[in-house]
Amino acid sequence: MFIELNTASSIPIYTQLRNQIVLGIGRGELKTGEHLPTVRQMAEAAGINVMTVNKVYAILRAEGFIEIDRRHGAVVCPRKENAEALQEKCSAQLELLIAESSLKGMSRESFFAICGEIFDRQQTAAENAFL
Amino acid sequence: MFIELNTASSIPIYTQLRNQIVLGIGRGELKTGEHLPTVRQMAEAAGINVMTVNKVYAILRAEGFIEIDRRHGAVVCPRKENAEALQEKCSAQLELLIAESSLKGMSRESFFAICGEIFDRQQTAAENAFL
DNA sequence: TATTTGTATTATGATATATGATACAAAAAC
DNA sequence: GTTTTTGTATCATATATCATAATACAAATA
């Protein structure tokens, strides 16, 4: 679980950190039930403020990716979501991404190929996580 | 081409407007060569400041979705992009979206189905635009 | 000449982002 | 029972972003 933040980016640090943790869970680098570093450890490792990390953990909890227990800290625990609501959110984001990509010249086939690769990668990563 | 902005949203107005215009082009509601409303018309219609619209048009031009001629205003003109760079950008965004979606319980098949629907919709919209 | 185009400038205010220092309750570790 | 560790609350500060407002300009059109 490597965290790499770009302080020169226009993307807020807390968003970058949030995304990298979600990606880490998706890739299986962070397994369900596993502990995240404490807010202080993470802040130290990433070279950022404790409260910034705390904000990220609070967001991830609100989004249902982790649970936070005062005594044990933050634990990976992805919650399933209502299927219809999930599809709507996903569809809205996909529509924009597909519009941008296809206007820029990407074919439907290329797009699907990329999606396929990502799903394959995440699945094998998740499988390896249990070995 | 309906513009609907949510001033209560955490997404900046200029981003919302930018996205809706890109979506409009993707859907074929705004065809290549077609004029966008003038910055003042758009500002009036959307109930926002002229300079906010100007910022959006400048972004769309920098992104290669429109061209701006001082005498004629903004014209839809999507530029193709380098394939490799495009795939990298798209892949990064897709990886996050797929991680989020699959962790929330979406199957690979559902995800592909949504993508297919969007591609179909955009293609028929683009075809109808030429009738 | 008057109007319309995008755009530059300057100012203002509200909100977002990030840091820093300090403190607290609750639980664990010793 | 004391110390340490946990997330978290609070207060202050600094900077950046977002959005508006009021002008003004050059270039082109009507």
Please give the pLDDT value at position A108. 97
Contact criterion met (CB < 8 Å) for A95 and B26: yes
- Looking at the domain assignment, is residue A26 inside a domain? yes
B68 and B102 fall within a common domain = no
CA of B96 vs chain A CAs: smallest distance (Å): 6
Which residues 6+ apart lie within 8 Å of B39 measured at CB?
B50, B53, B54, B57
Q: Of the candidates B91, B100, B106, B112, which has an alpha carbon nearest to the alpha carbon of residue A118?
A: B91
CB-nearest to A106 from B79, B86, B112 is: B86
B69 and B87 fall within a common domain = no
A61-87 confidence digits (pLDDT tens): 999 999 998 777 899 998 999 999 999
How many domains, chain A?
A: 2
Please give the pLDDT value at position B128. 64
A20 and A64 fall within a common domain = yes
Q: How far from each other are the two terminal CA atoms of chain A, in whole angstroms?
A: 17
**E-assigned strands of chain A?**
66-69, 73-76
- A73 forms beta bridges with A69
Predicted model pTM: 0.92
B70 and B87 fall within a common domain = no
Read off the CATH number of the domain in which B43 is found. Answer: 1.10.10.10
A90 and A72 fall within a common domain = no
CB–CB contacts below 8 A, A to B: 124
- Looking at the domain assignment, is residue B6 inside a domain? no
How far out from the chain centre does Cα B58 lie?
Answer: 14
Residues 67-106 of B with CB within 7 A of strand C: 68, 70-71, 73-74
B67 and B91 fall within a common domain = no
Two tokens, residue A101: 């990509």
CB-nearest to A65 from B87, B97, B103 is: B103
**Long-range contact list for B52-59, CB < 8 A, 24+ apart?**
B52/B13, B52/B14, B52/B17, B53/B17, B55/B14, B56/B14, B56/B17, B56/B18, B56/B21, B59/B14, B59/B18
Contact criterion met (CB < 8 Å) for A80 and B122: no
Give yes or no for a contact between A25 and A65, defined as CB atoms under 8 angstroms apart.
Answer: yes
A62 and A87 fall within a common domain = no
Residue A84 phi/psi, 5-degree rounding, is: -65, -45
What's the number of CA atoms in the CB half-sphere (13 Å) around residue B43? Answer: 13
A72 and A87 fall within a common domain = no
Q: Is the CB of A55 under 7 A from strand D?
A: no
* pLDDT over 50 at A131, yes or no: no
Cα distances (Å, whole numbers) of residue A40 to A12, A35, B9: 19, 14, 32
Distance from C-alpha of B49 to C-alpha of B43, rounded to nearest angstrom = 6
Please give the pLDDT value at position A63. 95
Contact criterion met (CB < 8 Å) for B115 and A111: yes
- Looking at the domain assignment, is residue B96 inside a domain? yes
Which residues 6-65 of chain B have a CB within 8 Å of chain A?
19, 22-23, 25-27, 64-65
B59 and B111 fall within a common domain = no
- Where does a domain end: A76, A92, A108? A76
- Looking at the domain assignment, is residue B45 inside a domain? yes
- A68 forms beta bridges with A74
Please give the pLDDT value at position B130. 53
Q: Nearest nucleotide by C1' from A16 CA?
A: C17
B112 and B91 fall within a common domain = yes
Contact criterion met (CB < 8 Å) for B98 and A115: yes
Domain span at residue B53 reads 13-76
B92 and B41 fall within a common domain = no
- Looking at the domain assignment, is residue B1 inside a domain? no
Give yes or no for a contact between B59 and B17, defined as CB atoms under 8 angstroms apart.
Answer: no
- B48 forms beta bridges with none
Instruction: Per residue of chain B (131 residues), give pLDDT as tens.
Output: 789 999 999 999 999 999 999 999 999 999 999 999 999 999 999 999 999 999 999 999 999 999 998 777 899 998 999 999 999 999 999 999 999 999 999 999 999 999 999 999 987 766 665 54
- Looking at the domain assignment, is residue A108 inside a domain? yes
Residue B14: its H or E element? helix B13-27
- Looking at the domain assignment, is residue A27 inside a domain? yes
Q: Of the candidates A16, A11, A120, A107, which has an alpha carbon nearest to the alpha carbon of residue B87?
A: A107
DSSP assignment of B66-77, as one string?
EEEETTTEEEE-
- Looking at the domain assignment, is residue B67 inside a domain? yes
A72 and A89 fall within a common domain = no
